[in-house]
A and B are shown apart, each in its own frame.
Chain A
Amino acid sequence: MNKPLKNWNTWYILLALALVVQIAFYYLFTKFWA
């Protein structure tokens, strides 16, 4: 696997993690204000 591809994979994983963090935040937001 070459270096640029490795770098892109890191960004893909970070974006997926950001989605998980956001969903967790929105879940807590919903529970908190309900």
Chain B
Amino acid sequence: MSTIDWAVLICTLVAVVVYGVFIGRGQKSNESYLKADNKMPWYIVLIGIMATQASAITFLSAPGQAYTDGMRFVQYYFGLPLAMIVICITFIPIFQRLNVYTAYEYLENRFDKKTRVLTSLLFLFSRGLSTGISIYAPSIILSSVLNWNIYLTNVLTGGLLLIYTYVGGAKAIAHTQKLQFLIILGTMAFAGYLLIDNMPNGIGFKDALYLAGKSGKLNVITTEFDWKDKYNIWSGLIGGFFLALSYFGTDQSQVGRYITAKDNTNAKMGLLLNGLVKIPMQFAILLIGALLFAFFSLKPAPIYFNERSYQHLKETKPEQAAVFEKEHQDLQTKFNAESKEILQLKQNNSSQLETKIQDFKNTQSQVKALHGRVEEAINQSNFNAEKTDTNYIFLYFVKNTLPVGMIGLLFAVIFLASWGSISAALNSLAACSLKDVHLIFKKEIPDDKTELKYSRLHTLAWGIFSIGVAMFATQMGSLIEAVNVLGSLFYGPILGIFLVAFYFKKINGANVFIAAILSEIAVIAVYQFDIVSFLWLNVIGAAAVIVFSAIGLVFYKPKAVTS
């Protein structure tokens, strides 16, 4: 990176940290620290919700996903608007009426203390580990692309945000998320513009879309049903609905954002608008990936976007790499020429267009097959870092095409996107470990000042824990993927507990507690036997809690029901 890029990167990051500390200074009570005094307007709630969900990987992985698999990933979000409606009708009025600090607090009111603690512990376990991975995932990419030390990058990714999160709590998080999200969206939109602007002479947006479409990258809707297929309209609508309901309704990192709202109206407006803008935003990010494919159809693409992994292969198996490179060179030249020829034939309305498109598709299959062989060779080599290259496609374009200044800003965006979700996660982890575990077993209720001190210590402890997980992640290897699916393993049963609480008034704490444990075992078994795609695990987990609780009623009828 150039000196200007370094200056842009450092100034942006320092400005956000200083702004966070400044706006969050002078915290006097725990209510202010964990709930921002319930003063947040709808637009801050909206941005908070979106910035918490969108991690760095969202902005790096989604374009890569569209580049390799097309835009069908957007279907994953189709159930989200429907989930927003259910949360507005059922969840928000209850959370607001009880004035809760954590979502799980309601479960003590509805069931009993042990159900609250169990659910909160499930959340703490899965969110605690996944926050560590949220630090590690962008760090490994940044350290690879910028040649930084991975441990130092982990500290930068997880440590700087800890300063304003520790000092200013929910208020600092909400306001920095606003700033971060504006920078992220502005930079991504400008990067999209530069992508079109950098196409070869005479080739515009429509031509790029035409090429992307013919390559199968604009496949937004896929209607074929398959239990094991992650992204089709059915898994998106049904599985995505349950996932969004669990995530936005029962995950404290999201609940913690909208309970900061001024009132019911502002919380609902934030969530409903999230339901309106989330899919178009994701569509736009994926479109960048599809256009990147068109870009690299017309201009030389590298043999492998993850340059460090490929370099390792080149050093360990030079003969094999040389064969790959020769084949890549020939295929790439042919592919670029065919792409240009297609656009030329299209312009002339030539009858040869269909034949040429078929040739183009055949060459595309050969390029894909070669990429698969390179990936396999890299996987077989003894390289102890990230081997796949999906997350590196957009960054390769950034590093090699964007002008000075924009590169630094784009790298800052990666940090800021991570900070938005990690800071909200740390705040929610601290709220749950303090309110649902620490204070619940304490005989004396501490005064507000002591509680604020505890909240800060919990935030600090979770920050250090998450950085620790990120440090160990380098040695975890394939375990990382297991940690990534942890959310899906726990979300279903947690949602099931809440659905029983809301809609099945006859079921009591003892029944739901046992049902939740049995459901968790069932979900892990389904996952282990690889029966369905992960999106369906949420549906199975939630349904299992309801069914097991209902069966439990046959054997154990409660004496009295609380509501």
Contacts and interface: CB of A to CB of B under 8 A. Distances in A.
Interface of A: 8, 11-12, 15-16, 18-19, 22-23, 26-27, 29-30, 32-34
A33 B71 CA distance: 12
Contact of B213 (A8, A11, A33): A33
Contact of A12 (B89, B213, B220, B283): B89
B361 to A, nearest CB: 12
Given A30-B218, A33-B209, A15 B276 contact: yes
Contact of A26 (B82, B221, B276): B221
A21 B396 CA distance: 35
21 contacts: A8-B268, A12-B89, A15-B81, A15-B276, A16-B82, A18-B81, A19-B81, A19-B82, A19-B275, A19-B279, A22-B280, A26-B74, A26-B220, A27-B221, A29-B218, A30-B220, A30-B221, A32-B213, A33-B210, A33-B218, A34-B213
Contacts of A30: 218-221
Contacts of A11: 272
Contacts of A18: 81, 276
A26 B88 CA distance: 26
Interface residues of B, number: 25
A19 B85 CA distance: 12
Nearest to A7: B265
Interface in B57-92: 74, 78, 81-82, 84-85, 88-89
B467 interface: no
Contacts of B107: none
B495 interface: no
A15 B233 CA distance: 18
B85 A16 contact: yes
Q: Which of B82, B84, B88, B220 has the most CB of A within 10 A?
A: B220
Nearest to A12: B85
A33 B74 CA distance: 16
Interface in B272-294: 272, 275-276, 279-280, 283
A31 to B, nearest CB: 8
Interface string B524-558: 00000000000000000000000000000000000
Nearest to A29: B220
Contacts of A29: 218, 220
A16 B213 CA distance: 28
Contacts of A8: 88, 268
